Amino acid sequence: MLILIIAVIMAIAAIWAGVGAFYGMIANYLHSLSPESVGVIKYIPYLEYGTMTLIMGILIFQTYQIAKIKDE
């Protein structure tokens, strides 16, 4: 069970880095298109947090399902 929790924490950290890099590339691309796109860029962190919340919810739910099956 401890290994499962550690694996989920490591997966969340890796996915968080990937999501951050992805939205960072989008922000840089939008800024290179037009410096006036700052109005859109300021909402990118909210997209990042929303994406991570969704992914973390899915991972935690799946971990709960696996732990429930293993405990039976």
Q: What tens digit of pLDDT does each residue of 14-35 get?
A: 998 999 899 989 888 888 888 7
Asked if 27 and 41 touch (Cβ cutoff 8 Å), the reply is: yes
Asked if 59 and 4 touch (Cβ cutoff 8 Å), the reply is: no
With CA atoms as reference, report the closest residue to 23 among 39, 11, 40, 5: 40
Domain span including residue 58: 2-71
Q: Number of folded domains in the chain?
A: 1
Task: Give CA 71 to chain center in angstroms.
Answer: 28
Whether residue 65 is predicted with pLDDT greater than 80 in this model: the reply is yes
Q: What tens digit of pLDDT does each residue of 27-56 get?
A: 888 888 887 777 878 888 898 899 999 999
